[in-house]
Amino acid sequence: MMLPETALVVGASGGLGHAVSAELIARGVRVIRWSRRDDGVDITDEASIQRAAATLGEVRLDWIFVATGRLAGDDQHPERRFADLKLEQMATCMAVNAIGPALLIKHLSRFLPRDGSCVFAALSARLGSIEDNRLGGWMSYRAAKAALNQVLRCASVEMQRKRKQAVVVGLHPGTVDTEMTRRFHRGRTTATAEESARQLVDVLLGLTPRDSGRVFDYAGRRIPF
């Protein structure tokens, strides 16, 4: 995989989204940045995505990087047991982590080239792996990321029919020190946002269409579904 000429980063105002944008710009990539805070692009609102897509005109997007995600609300914590489960919290987690990226695929796939390599990548998590789940807990987040992985697998199958060089993948960044994760990681981090951004870009550059539909961690290792 080669560096893109133009990339769209969704969730660019977050810690990791901002770092990925900066990393791509530093490597000479033209970056279009979307975020709810700065641009009003809400991935859980289909009309918001449609309005934003209409502003792209005839641009060709070589990479689409979705850096959005949700662990829990400001006054909430991931569930430790099913007695802690709340309908609204689980629905919101699913909307942000799985349904939003699916809507982005629906409305942005047409901007990816048919005649060359392209990438659609979204932040997944090792916690979304069913095979790797030996501890339980965090049901809303686990289920939402597992759903995202299935969305990405479906997208990879569909895109391959018209875009033979497309790579559609989930990326597990590890425990990155960002505002979203800070109250949960308890000092156990694998990277700063800037370090993680470099790692994830390097992972994408090392992938081929044969890797499409899979999930990889920050070191390029495949994570089982």
pLDDT in tens, 198-216: 999 999 999 999 999 999 9
Determine how many CB atoms are found less than 10 A away from the CB of residue 75.
Answer: 5
Domains of the chain: 6-223 (3.40.50.720)
Q: Which helix (H) or strand (E) holds 122?
A: strand 118-123
SS3 171: strand
169 touches 212 (CB < 8 A): yes
Overall average pLDDT of the 72-95 stretch: 90
pLDDT at 42 over 60: yes
Calculate what percentage of the chain has a pLDDT beyond 70: 94
The predicted model scores a pTM of: 0.94
Beta strands in 149-221 (DSSP E): 166-172, 176-177, 191-192, 215-217
Overall average pLDDT of the 8-18 stretch: 97
DSSP-derived letter for residue 170 is E
Residue 3 phi, psi dihedral angles, 5° rounding: -60, 140
pLDDT tens digit sequence for 96-128 = 999 999 999 999 999 999 999 999 999 999 999
Specify the pairing of strand 215-217 against strand 222-223. antiparallel
Q: What Cα–Cα distance (Å) separates residue 64 from each residue in 13, 28, 87, 118, 141?
A: 15, 16, 31, 8, 23
SS3 83: helix
pLDDT tens digit sequence for 126-136 = 999 999 999 99
**Res. 77 pLDDT band, cuts 50 70 90:** confident
**Residue position matching structure tokens 């009003």:** 40
